[in-house]
Each structure stands twice: as structure tokens, then as C-alpha cells.
Amino acid sequence: MKRTAVSTALGIAYPVLQAGMPWVSNPELVAAVSNAGGLGILHPTSGIEPGADPVANLHAVIRHVQRLTQEPFGVSFYLPHPQIEQLIEAAAQEGLSIAITYGGSPALYTGTLKDHSMTVIHQISTVRHARGAEAQGVDMVIAEGFESGGLRGVDKVSTMVLVPQVVGSVAIPVIASGGIVDSRGYVAATALGAMGVQMASRFMATRECISHQNYKTAIVAAIDSGTIVVGGNRWPTRVLKQGLAMQMKESSMEDGDDYAAWDQALGIDRTRAAYLEGDFDAGVAYTGAGAGLISDILTVQEVFKDLVDGSHSLARKLA
């Protein structure tokens, strides 16, 4: 697994990012990923109790990670968050230097993050968005294909066709995301021109992640059609095909429904029960289509060993 512009700029051994996942990007997982040579990413909801202050919580979980690792890690920022400025300030005060932004225009806070000397990585789902992010001064983009879990782009562009087009359209490094869970996905992403990958579902199915055992078991049991897209054409959201998600498919949201309706039905608050309590009748679980490729619960170190060893093996076969 060769060093790339991504691993060099971020100060990590391997260009592998763990996505900032709501509720379950717990400090132990983030630190384990960073200690293994990748980049762990906190989400401001990590470890938060219902009704608690997200800003105070972010201070606490950042300090928790800092007690567990001396390696770089970052924070994932949802740009429309009502306390986004305070969350950015909290991360800056704790000395973080890497931010992943998503869910809004990079024009909003890239300048603020840069003023705090942070490396800014913005998630996009189309070439147009990638070019716009580059124009706003972001350092890298994550090209997220439709295979990824959670709210997806309305254009529904797959990873295989999105990544090479983004690579050919911008000068900044591109990180591939969506359906990537192992060395085969990593090698494929690099063949498409990506300089790194981001993974979520694979890291949720690890021993260090605090996701509920019911959820981990469901990921391992998932097949190629183990996820489902709900939310209509305007708010396509990929979730694990379990319980409540199946009911939502039968009564999918209409395309004219506004964001508030989506947020109530499928926003991250609806994921807490599934992720943390394993209750699929009360909550939905954002999960990528790559779940069908996950067959066991590993430690983070084992995930990286498989990535590195498998990449070397595939490289030899392709040489």
C-alpha cells in the first residue's frame, strides 16, 4: 500500500479514512484506526447522551481520543448544524487540524476552517460539486458513490463511474467512498485514480466500535441486496434492510416532501435506536451496499492487516 498525496498530507501511514458515523464513531474506534495507521474520524454525536450539549460533548470526546492516541485524527462536520460555528471552534481549541465537511456548500465554512489551520476534506457526489469544492479552497474531496449508506445524491452516480470522472476534473487529491470494505475495493479505487479510500460499514463491524451486537450481526448476515434505498427520489437514503426500513419502502416519501419531513423520518436521530440499541423496529441504520461483502467481526488491526496484505497480494497478481 504505497504512500500517496493523501497519506502524506494527513501524516498517516495508509490512505484509509474511517468515516465519521453518527453515534458510533466512538473514541476507542477512532483511536484504534489512527493507531493502526489510518485516519480515525469523530462525529459530534459520538458518545452524546440525549439532550446533552453537542459542543461540550465534542470537547470531551476529542480529549478522550487524545488520551488514547498520539496519531492524527479528525472531526466530521455537518454544515447545516445549528451550532456548526461553535463545533468548529471547539475542535480548533482542542488542537485538531483535520476536518471533513458534508451536507452543505463548502463556501460556508471552508474559510473559517482554514483560518484555524485545518486541512479541509469535503464530501461530494457529482463532478460539479467536486469542482465547486476545489474552487472554494478545500484540500481534498471524498467522492461518495451511491453505494454509500445514508442520504445520497439525487443523481445516484455509482462509485465506479464517479471516482474517475472526479479525478479527471480536479487537481486536488480524490478519496473514494461507497461500497469499499476490503483490499479489492481499495485496489479498485486506486486503479480509478483515487489516492485513498473512506470506509464506514467495515469499521462499524469491528470489535472496537460501540454499535450494537444486533447491528453487527445483521451486517455479517447481509447479502448483496441487504440494503434498501428509501426516501423517494428527492431524498434517497440507503439503510439496512431491516424492520422499520421495510415499512418505509412500502410507504416511501413523496418527491415533494421537504427536508424537515425527511429529517423526522430518516435523519440521524432515527438511527440511534438501530445503531446503539439494535432495535430495527424503532430506528433505521445507515449502511453501505458493501455490507454484503462483510463476513465477520474483526478488530481494527485485523481490518488493516487484511487491507495491506490483500493489496500487496493483488498487486503481485496484477504485475
The DSSP output letter for 103 is S
User: Could you read off the pLDDT tens digit of each residue along the chain, which spans 319 residues?
Assistant: 789 999 999 999 999 999 999 999 999 999 999 999 999 999 999 989 888 999 999 999 999 999 999 999 999 999 999 999 999 999 999 999 999 999 999 999 999 999 999 999 999 999 999 999 999 999 999 999 999 999 998 999 999 999 999 999 999 999 999 999 999 999 999 999 999 999 999 999 999 999 999 999 999 999 999 999 998 888 899 999 999 888 877 666 666 668 888 888 899 999 999 999 999 999 999 999 999 999 999 999 999 999 999 998 998 888 7
Given the DSSP bridges, would you call strands 119-124 and 150-151 parallel, antiparallel or unpaired? unpaired
- Give the CATH fold of the 5-207+300-318 domain: TIM Barrel (3.20.20)
pTM of the model: 0.96
Cβ atoms of 123 and 101 within 8 Å: the answer is yes
Evaluate whether 174 touches 143 at the Cβ level (below 8 Å).
yes
* Three-class DSSP category at 31: helix
Q: Where are the domains of the chain?
A: 5-207+300-318, 213-290
* Residue 316 burial (C-beta neighbours within 10 Å; 0-12, 13-18, 19+): exposed
